[in-house]
Each structure stands twice: as structure tokens, then as C-alpha cells.
Chain A
Amino acid sequence: MNEPTHGEVALALPDDVAALAQLPADKGEVHLVHLYPREMSIYGDLGNTRCLAARLRWHGYRPVVHDHHPGAPWPERADLLLGGGGQDSGQARVTEDLERHADRLRELAADGLPMLMICGMYQLFGEAFITVEGQRLPGLGILDVTTRGNATRMIGPVVLDTDFGSVVGYENHSGSTVLGEGQQPFGRVRHGQGNNGSDGYEGARVGNVVASYLHGPILPANPALADGLLEIAARRATGDWVPGEIDDTVATRAHEAQVRRLLGS
């Protein structure tokens, strides 16, 4: 949080979140790294970082949030990585920095570090992005997925079945993504388009790397997913996971309202 604030994107996270919890934050520190909050957080993906920081605090942990900007040194510690969606100009601005940290990111992923990569960052974590003109832009190769630029955008509310239960969100992407052979999806589409509108898959998952097109942002209305990621992060950071009691009534109602509306059940 040493970076200057910029527009609405960088909100002071840990302090005001800390003020919201009555519990002592005595279960240890968990470091969250938000990759490119300026360039790659166009659809409120900052909300995922805010959600995790708040939930950590509610669970009795101390969240430390690092905003990583292009060209800045790598944060001294990372227990969980977050990335969001941006527009093409934003994506172009982060490519160089992503390349610089490519080996590190691949190692961290292989080591089981939990990561949540949404939309544009999901695409950059794949094997390649093939533009409408046919140009092949290589990705980090952490996920065995290939994305093609598409003339029509896939836009609208989504409901998925995932390992973390049902997940609701909103997709807005022109890239059409195909999973490589043996690549596990993040979820199966019950409403919406998903990766490409045809194979019924959404997102991708390798180890603890979860990638998805869903905004929403995805975590607040899907607390099981949020806590699933936090459990892995907290175990890595502190050796244990001792969740607190969180009242998720409002999140559950928001989640159920969307499921009912979109699936009619």
C-alpha cells in the first residue's frame, strides 16, 4: 500500500477493513498481492481483494495487501495472488512486467500458491492469445488454454457448478477460450456462455490456480470460493486454518436470488 492512490481503484484496504472486526487479529498475517489494480480492474475486480481482506479479518487473521504495479519490485511476500480484467490498452501495459515475472509466477503456481485470475489475466495465464488477424501472442503457459479473439462478445449473467459449489457472476469477454486436453475447467455452465459458448465449460483450474471469466466481482457473492482460497493461503502462511464464524446471510441471499432468477429454481 505504499503506492499512491489512483482514481477510484486503490482504496485503503487493510486499515478500514481492520476497523470492521471486533476480533483480535491473532491468527497470523496473510499477504494478498493484487496484480495491476490500475490497469486490470475495470469491472470492479478490486472487490475480490477487498472481500478477501475483509474475510481474513473476520476470521481473525491480519491481511496485508500489496498492490503490484508494472515496473515495481516484486512484493517481499505473497500468500495469494489476485488479477482482474482490463481493456486492451491496459493489457498491453502489463505484458512486459508479466514477462519479467513469468518464471516466478510459474514456480509459484507449481508450488501450490493460490491464485485467482479473472478475465484478461485468465487469458494471459494461458498458452496463447490468437488475435482476430491470426497473430499468436504467447501467454505464461500456467494454464493449458488457448484464447481466440472473436467478433462477438459473450456478455451476461452466469451460473456455474464448481468444486466450490454453485458460483454466480457476470461475464463480458470477446476472447473465446478452449481448454487443452486434460485441462480441468473451473466449472460447468448452467446459465451463460462460459469459455466459448459451446463446450459448456467455464474457466480453468490447475492446482490452486483458479481462473475464470466471471466478474461480479466473483468472491463476495460466492463466499465458499473465497474461503476455499483463503484456507489454502492461511495454511501456507501460518501452518493452519482456523476459520471464525462469519454471518453470510446477505451473501447467501444475493447468491440465491441470482440462481433463482437465472435457473428458475
Chain B
Amino acid sequence: MGVRTTLALAAGKGARAVFRLRGGGSALPGLVTERIDPAVLRHTLGSLPRGVVVVSGTNGKTTTTKMLVALLRAHGLRVFTNPTGSNFTRGVISSMLGEVGLRGRLDADVAVVELDEAHALHFSAQVPPTHSLLLNVARDQLDRFAEIDHTARLLTTLAEQTTEGVVLNVDDPFISRIRGHVRQDVRVGWFGVDPSIADRLPELQEADVRPEDEAGVVLDEQELAGAALLLPADDGRGLTVLCPGGEDLGPVSLRQRGLAAMINATAATAMARHLLGEDFRVEAAAAALERVSPPFGRGEVVDVGGTPLELVLVKNPAGFTVALGTYGAEPVATMIAINDNYADGRDVSWLYDVSFESLRDRGVALTSGVRGWDMALRLRYDGVEVGDVEPDLDAALDRFLREAAGEPMRIFCTYTAMMHLRRRLAERFGLARFGEDPEA
């Protein structure tokens, strides 16, 4: 470990202390550290005995990472992770600053980090991941990624740089065809849904316009034996993860609702089995999955004076469609907040690829955010009544809490709108601060 790393870590820790006092952002101390020692990640994470697992893909990274961490901890592993959803390298470094000594020693067996598709490559240039779990590819932030095909290429490159094992989504052709690109000595594992519910997939994922023969892969018997497949219960809450080569997991009930969360649980289970092999225990895994609470703003429920307020992050057409499918069936007082900052995706065109008809019966009380008027306009074209438009997030939140007082509430919001609203909600209702999520 060099002097430079020690210096970088000291500077980062100092910055972290200052920013925490000010209640500020999560990534800046990481940026300070990275500037001083760009190789800091290699020095700290590169020597962990059970390796470095990267979780990437368009939708579900934060939830899946949290579930995977819970599964591994339930098996006695000490896990380093970036639980804040700050999924750039500097976010990972920031997460690390609280746990690492100045010599760069991290008290962990394994690291599980979620990384944004583009930053995953920046990360892997520093620390080649031993394992990667690749979830899905969908239209998201095309102002950054330009094309779905480009995003798929980024993940393919990440898989090529992975040294021991990759776990792929058999149902997403953008992901499953990565099988042909991994190194020969790299083990490939799979997750997916049981064929009996394959008809529910179109609501979750991007249609691929390639000819059928290029579309996806079919697993052979040996591959199937290592796969984890989701079988939801009829009640919509319970699920079983079928493990063809071993003991099935479940039935369990997750604390986060919806099919997407169930698929994330299946992906996390597949990766945990892949990592733990013989040591994987279904009872421990089931208990761990049942305990995982929704990450910040991803269906998180805030207690507002005795009534629940659900905060639902929506970032792209597939994600919003899933969120409406999951939550829209239970109409409650609804607000939608759309910002178009860099972290939200600056282009809001994608709102026209989402159908909002499920909101028609109850209507939307308020739209807000920088693009609050554009959201209201979108709803008008789907025949959804909008109570009012209040672009200012604070004013909108005040009004919404006042006007919907006493009844269940739900806010769909883009990333920076969610961060803003959650901070306000945390101040008013005593929630854990961002980045201090105590349960994994």
C-alpha cells in the first residue's frame, strides 16, 4: 500500500467528516479520494478473499444489490457494499471511506457493488470484477447512452472483463446473448422466470427488434441445473425460486411489492448460489429475503401521521410501466414529480412510451418538478384528470400532504425529485438519512 493511497484515504475521510456535518452529498468525498489516488479501488478492493461482485443493468440494481448483500451476510460473509444507490466509482469510494483503515485494509470477505452501466467499465478498469450479475437493458437516459445497443455493448464489455463468473438474465435477449462473449474459463449462471409466467415479461422489458433467430438463448440441461427461476404465487405477494439442480427456495413474501422485485430476488438468489455453491442454504436465504426492506424511494413506505406514503422511483419507460402495474391497481392519492437534471435523464420524451390509463379512474392530484407541465400534458393525452401543476417540489409536497391528509398517498418521482422529496420527508418524519440505511 503506497503513501499516495494513504494520503488519498485521509483526505477522503476528512472530506467525509465535513460533508456529514453539513448533511451533504454522498459522492464528493469519493471524488476527492479518487483525484489523489486513481488506483485507490484496486488497492482496497482488489485483495478481498472472496472477490468483487458487480451488479449492473438498467433497472433493479439497487434492490438486487441490497438483496444479494442480505443473502451473503445470512451465510456469514462479511460484505462491503455501496448501499446508497450512488452507483458511480466515486460513490463506491465514498461508501468505503467509513470502513477502510488508512492503510487501505477493508474488513470484508467480499465486495458487492452496484454500478451504472457506463461507470461499470471505469470501475472494471481499476478492479476487474471476479463476478458480475447483469440484470437487463432498457431505454434509459438516452441523452447519456444514446442507444440501447450501446448500453448492451457496455455490459458485454463488463462481462468480458469479469474473471470468474457471470450470472445472466435468460429472458432478456440483450443480456442472454452475452453468453457468447465471456472468457472460456468463466462460469456462466442464469436467472429468469418460470416459463409458465413468460407472458408477463413484455410489461417489464424492452422489445428487441432483431430477427427471432438472434433473439435469445435456450438453456441446456446442465445450465438449467444451475439456474434460478421465479414462480410467483397466485396471491401476488409470495414467490418461490425454483432451483432445478437443488432445493427450491420458498415460498417467501418480500417486503417490496411487484413482479420486478420478485425478479430481482431471483437474480440475487442465482448470484448467491453461484458464489456460495455447496454452502448455499435455502432456509437462511429465504429468511434473509423476507427481511430486506425496500431501498430508499423504491417503493419505500413513509409513515405520515399514521397514513402510508409510498415513494416510487421511476426512471425510464420500462420502470414506470412496471411501477404503474405494481401500484396502479390500488388507486390512492397520487402525485408525480418529473425533473430533467443529468441524473434523471435530460430528455423526458420517454413519458410518451408509458401508458398512464391505469390512473384514469382516480386521477392525479398534482404534478410537479421542472417538467411538471410536461407531465400534466402527457396525462391529458391519456385522459387522466390532473388536479393542479406546482413545479416547485417543496410547495407541491406541502400541498399534497395537506390536501390528501388522512388517506394513503403515493408519489412517483424521477431520481433527483425523489432525493429532494425524501430529504424533506426525512426532516419531517424522522427517517434514516440517505446513505445510512441500517438494514441490508
Q: A residues within 8 Å of B by Cβ?
A: 6-9, 11, 16, 19-20, 38-39, 41-47, 50-51, 54, 87-90, 93, 153, 155-157, 170, 172, 174, 215-217, 220-221, 250-251, 253-254, 257, 261
B352 touches which of A38, A47, A155 (Cβ 8 Å): A47
- Please state if A89 and B149 are interface contacts (CB–CB under 8 Å): yes
Q: Considering the complex, which residues of chain B in the window 195-223 have a beta carbon less than 8 Å from any beta carbon of chain A? A: 202, 205-207, 209-210
- Most chain B beta-carbon contacts within 10 A, residue among A6, A7, A39, A51: A7
In the assembled complex, the CB of A219 is this many whole angstroms from the nearest CB of chain B, namely 10
The CA of A254 and the CA of B206, in the complex, are separated in Å by: 28
Q: Residues of B contacting A19 with CB < 8 Å?
A: 383
Q: Are B209 and A93 in contact (CB under 8 A)?
A: yes
| B19 CB–A CB distance under 8 Å | no
Across chains A and B, which 4 residue pairs bring their CB atoms closest together, nearest first? Answer: A47-B352, A7-B207, A44-B352, A44-B349
Complex: A88 Cα to B209 Cα, angstroms: 11
Chain B residues with CB under 8 A of A47? 349, 351-353, 378, 381
In this complex, what residue of B is CB-closest to A216? Answer: B349
B422 within 8 A of A: no
Q: Does B389 contact A (CB under 8 A)?
A: yes
The answer to whether A250 and B376 have CB atoms under 8 Å apart is: yes
B108 at the interface (CB under 8 A from A): no
Chain A positions within 8 Å of B209 at CB level: 38-39, 89-90, 93
Q: Which of A9, A87, A216, A254 contacts B207 (CB 8 A)?
A: A9
Min CB gap B396→A, angstroms: 15
* Of B39-47, B138-146, B271-279, the one touching chain A: B138-146
**19 CB-based A-B contacts, threshold 8 Å:** A7-B207, A8-B318, A43-B142, A43-B349, A44-B352, A44-B353, A45-B349, A47-B351, A50-B352, A50-B381, A87-B148, A87-B149, A89-B209, A156-B346, A217-B349, A220-B381, A250-B380, A251-B377, A254-B373
Q: What distance in Å separates the Cβ of A86 from its nearest Cβ neighbour in chain B?
A: 8
Please name all residues of chain B whose beta carbon is closer than 8 Å to the beta carbon of A216 when the two chains form the complex. 349
Inter-chain contact B347/A43, CB cutoff 8 Å? yes
Q: A42 touching B142 by the CB < 8 A rule?
A: yes
Complex contact A172–B377 (CB within 8 A): no
The answer to whether the Cβ of B357 comes within 8 Å of any Cβ in the partner chain is yes
Contact B381 A54 (CB under 8 A): yes
Q: Does B434 contact A (CB under 8 A)?
A: no
B330-362 at interface with A (beta carbon < 8 Å): 346-355, 357
Which residues on the A side are within 8 Å of B318 (C-beta)?
A: 8
Binding site for A on B (CB under 8 A): 139, 142-143, 146-150, 202, 205-207, 209-210, 317-318, 321, 346-355, 357, 370-371, 373-374, 376-378, 380-383, 386, 389, 391
Provide the bound-state CA to CA distance between A43 and B217, in Å. 28
B146 contact from A39, A170, A174, Cβ within 8 A:
A174
B346 touches A7 (CB 8 A): no
Give the Cβ gap from B380 to chain A, nearest Cβ, in Å.
5
Output the nearest chain A residue to B375 by Cβ-Cβ distance: A254
CA distance A43 to B383 in the complex (A): 21
Give the docked Cα–Cα distance between A7 and B138 (Å). Answer: 11
Residues of A within 8 A of B370 (CB): 261
Q: A153-B146, A220-B352, A254-B374 are in contact. List 12 more A-B contacts (CB 8 A).
A: A7-B205, A8-B321, A8-B354, A44-B350, A51-B381, A89-B209, A89-B210, A172-B146, A215-B349, A216-B349, A250-B377, A257-B373
In the assembled complex, which residues on chain A have CB atoms less than 8 Å from the CB atom of B353? 8-9, 41, 44, 46-47
- Alpha-carbon separation in the docked complex, A93 to B355 (Å): 26
- Chain A residues within an 8 Å CB radius of B374: 221, 254, 257
A7 to B139, CA, bound (A): 12
Q: Is the CB of A38 within 8 A of B350?
A: no
In the bound complex, how far is the Cα of B149 from the Cα of A54, in angstroms? 32
CA distance A16 to B356 in the complex (A): 12
- Chain B: which residue is nearest A174 at the CB level? B146
- Residues in A whose Cβ lies below 8 Å from that of B382: 16
Residue ID in chain A nearest B321 by CB atoms: A8
Given A7-B206, A153-B146: A253 touches B373 (CB 8 Å cut-off): yes
Closest CB of chain B to A250's CB: distance in Å?
5
Q: How far is the CA of A46 from the CA of B350 in the complex (A)?
A: 10
Name the residue in B149, B150, B350, B380 with the highest tally of chain A Cβ atoms < 10 Å from its Cβ: B380
Which residue of A45, A170, A220 contacts B346 across the interface (Cβ within 8 Å)?
A170
Q: Which residue of B lies closest to A254 (CB)?
A: B373
Contact A257 B391 (CB under 8 A): yes
Whole-angstrom CA separation of A26 from B381 in the bound complex:
21
Are the C-beta atoms of A172 and B347 separated by less than 8 Å? Answer: yes
Distance, CA A126 to CA B373, complexed state (A) = 34
Give A30 Cβ to nearest chain B Cβ, in Å.
17
Compute how far the CA of A261 lies from the CA of B340 in the bound complex, rounded to whole angstroms: 12
Question: Which residues from chain A contact B202 at a C-beta distance below 8 Å?
Answer: 7
| Cβ-defined partner of A16 (8 Å) among B142, B373, B383 | B383
CB distance from A261 to the nearest CB of B (A): 8
**B340 — nearest CB in chain A belongs to which residue?**
A157
Q: Do residues B377 and A16 form an inter-chain contact, with CB atoms below 8 A?
A: no
Complex Cα distance, B149 from A90, in Å, reads 10
Residues on B with beta carbons closer than 8 Å to the beta carbon of A157: 346
How far is B147's CA from A5's CA once the two chains are assembled, in angstroms? 22
A88-B147, A89-B209, A220-B381 given as contacts; is B355 within 8 A of A8 (CB)? Answer: yes
- Smallest Cβ-Cβ distance to A261: which chain B residue: B370
Bound-state Cα–Cα, A6 to B389, Å = 33
Q: A257: which B residues are within 8 A, CB to CB?
A: 371, 373-374, 391
Neighbouring A residues of B373 by C-beta, 8 Å: 250, 253-254, 257
B-chain residues with CB within 8 Å of residue A90 when the two chains form the complex: 209
- B347 / chain A contacts, CB cutoff of 8 Å: 43, 170, 172, 215
Closest to A214 in B: B349
In chain B, what residue has the closest Cβ to A48?
B352
A46 vs B352: C-alpha distance when bound (angstroms) = 7
Q: Which of B146, B352, B391 has the most CB of A within 10 A?
A: B352
Residue of A nearest to B206 (CB): A7
Residue pair A221, B377 in contact (C-beta under 8 Å): yes
Tell me if B142 and A172 are in contact (CB < 8 A).
yes
**Cβ distance B354 to chain A, nearest Cβ, rounded Å:** 7
Q: Which residues of B lie under 8 Å from residue A253 when comparing CB positions?
A: 373, 376, 389
- Tell me whether B148 and A38 are in contact (CB under 8 A): no
